[in-house]
Amino acid sequence: MLELSLQIALLIVALASLLSFYRLFVGPDLPDRILALDTLYVNTIVLLVIGGILLQSALFFEAALLIAVMGFVGTVALSKYLLRGDIME
Amino acid sequence: MSQLRRVWLPHPWLSFTLWLVWLLLNNTINPGHMLLGAILAILLPILTQSFWPESVSLARPKVLAKFLGVVLWDILVANLLVARLILGKKDHLQPAFLSIPLELESPLAISILANTICLTPGTVSCDLSADQKTLLVHALDAKQPQATIDEIKHRYERPLKEIFESCSN
Amino acid sequence: MPFWFELLLSALVLLGAFLTLVGSIGLAKLPDFYMRLHGPTKATTLGGGAVLLGSILYFSQQSGEISLHELLITLFLFITAPVGAHLMAKAALHHKTRKIKRTLDYHGKQ
């Protein structure tokens, strides 16, 4: 039963990623695209964690952690760029 | 003694957090990692001291614990509420920008308040005015704006004021 | 694995996936940027938290010892989501991103 619900969950999260992709392509403004990217990061983390349970492997943890960190840094850098026109000051 | 502590352990809470994060990262509690973590937890705050100009003191741990409990519970409840709002008809939503006058003064307390506002009810904090007196907040559905502001001030700002600024008044 | 445990895990993972979907639906459906911001910062973050809690329980049961390192991702998500949202909102305000007409501007009773 657990396996079935994990597969359903994978499907649901994949659908969520598709919706985020839709926003990433449609925009219409830059902040919308940053937000869509940020959502995609979190969706990917959830996908990886579910995949990790499904494949019974703890290896996915590191990947998920790295994506969490890099995603946050990316969001901050992009927002800063919009805010100041510059990332490093 | 306190002189010694200030030099070697300038930020005890930061050190403790670092130690905990190290143990979580390695997912172990074996003594070797505990020791290595402790060394890192002491060294890192000393090496990065110039980034942490002010020290944090936690007054009223009981109020803090209660505040954390309230926030966690609110995250749960408010998320289900937001989920319902999102799935419902979008034309019924009444978005609003609210200016909340702040009574808090310490920067740490203000940033914690902003973060809680983002996570809890249907609100996201957008901007802090330059004089740090008002916080601009966007609410997803605020049919009674004053009630939303009052709730935020009552539920989150008051305990934070008690925790971080109890000694100043 | 006892049946009730499997049931609990399934419920957590499905709830998490559903909340993630709700966040993305909000992102795709709501009319302006400031409203879209609410879906991903709240629903998606909590969804991630639920799935990670499920992962903690699963791996703890599987290996026989407590495995808490997923807690790190959960904490990180819960700390960074509001910071990211705040910065994005600030950038959008700076850019004067459009808001829909019926948005209220409320400045409190003076």
Query: B115-161 pLDDT, tens per residue?
Result: 888 877 677 877 777 777 788 888 877 777 787 788 788 878 777 77
A 23-82 residues with CB < 8 A to C: 23, 29-32, 34-36, 38-39, 42-43, 45-46, 49-50, 52-53, 56, 58, 61, 64-65, 68-69, 72, 75-76, 79-80, 82
Contact call for residues B78 and B120 (beta carbons, < 8 A): yes
- Residue A10: inside a domain: yes
B138/chain C closest Cα distance in angstroms: 7
The residue with greater pLDDT, C11 or A84, is C11
Give the Å distances, CA to CA, from A66 to B23, B28, C51: 17, 19, 17
Give the Å distances, CA to CA, from C5 to A38, A50, B54, C46, C109: 32, 16, 46, 21, 52
Helix (H, G, I), strand (E, B) or coil at C105: strand
Give the Å distances, CA to CA, from B125 to A70, B79, B136, C3: 23, 16, 6, 43
Please give the pLDDT value at position B168.
47
CA-nearest residue to B121 within chain C is C42
Q: Per the structure, how many domains does chain A have?
A: 1
The residue with greater pLDDT, B8 or C44, is C44
What HEC string does chain A produce? CHHHHHHHHHHHHHHHHHHHHHHHHHCCCHHHHHHHHHHHHHHHHHHHHHHHHHHCCCCHHHHHHHHHHHHHHHHHHHHHHHHHCCCCC
- Of the candidates A29, A35, A65, which has its C-beta nearest C72's C-beta? A65
Rounded to an integer, what distance in angstroms lies between the CA atom of residue A39 and that of residue A71?
9
Contact call for residues C69 and C55 (beta carbons, < 8 A): no
Asked whether residue C77 carries a pLDDT value surpassing 80, the answer given is yes
Domain map (residue ranges) of chain B: 2-51, 61-168
- Residue A89: inside a domain: no
Please give the pLDDT value at position C109.
55
DSSP B125: E
- Residue A29: inside a domain: yes
The residue with greater pLDDT, B2 or B66, is B66
pTM over 0.90: no
> In this structure, what token pair is assigned to residue B35?
């020791």
Q: Does domain B61-168 have CATH number 3.30.70?
A: yes
Query: B57-107 pLDDT, tens per residue?
Result: 666 777 778 888 888 888 888 888 888 888 887 777 788 888 888 887 777
Rounded to an integer, what distance in angstroms lies between the CA atom of residue A23 and that of residue A32?
7
Which of A37-51, A69-83, C29-43 shows the lowest mean pLDDT across its residues? C29-43
Query: B100-112 pLDDT, tens per residue?
Result: 888 877 777 788 8
Asked whether residue B31 carries a pLDDT value surpassing 70, the answer given is yes
Q: Do the Cβ atoms of C43 and B124 come within 8 Å? A: no
Please give the pLDDT value at position B49.
75
Pinpoint the alpha helices (H) of chain C. Answer: 3-29, 33-36, 38, 45-63, 70-95
Q: Chain B residues with CB inside 8 Å of C42's CB?
A: 75, 78-79, 82, 119, 122
Query: A24-60 pLDDT, tens per residue?
Result: 888 788 888 888 999 999 999 999 999 988 888 878 8
Please give the pLDDT value at position B169.
43
The residue with greater pLDDT, A89 or C74, is C74
Asked whether residue C78 carries a pLDDT value surpassing 80, the answer given is yes
Asked whether residue B12 carries a pLDDT value surpassing 50, the answer given is yes
- Residue A60: inside a domain: yes
Identify the helix (H) or strand (E) that includes residue B99: strand B96-101
Rounded to an integer, what distance in angstroms lies between the CA atom of residue B4 and that of residue B17?
21
Give the model's confidence band at A89: pLDDT under 50 very low, under 70 low, under 90 confident, else very high.
low
CATH of the domain at A15: 1.10.287
What was the ipTM of the complex prediction? 0.85
- Residue A39: inside a domain: yes
Contact call for residues C32 and C98 (beta carbons, < 8 A): yes
Mean pLDDT along residues B19-23: 86
Domain that holds residue A10: 2-84
Edge-first strand order for the sheet with C104-106 is B123-128, B134-139, B96-101, C104-106
Contact call for residues B26 and A62 (beta carbons, < 8 A): no
C76 to chain A, any CB pair closer than 8 A? The answer is: yes
The residue with greater pLDDT, C54 or B2, is C54
Asked whether residue A14 carries a pLDDT value surpassing 90, the answer given is yes
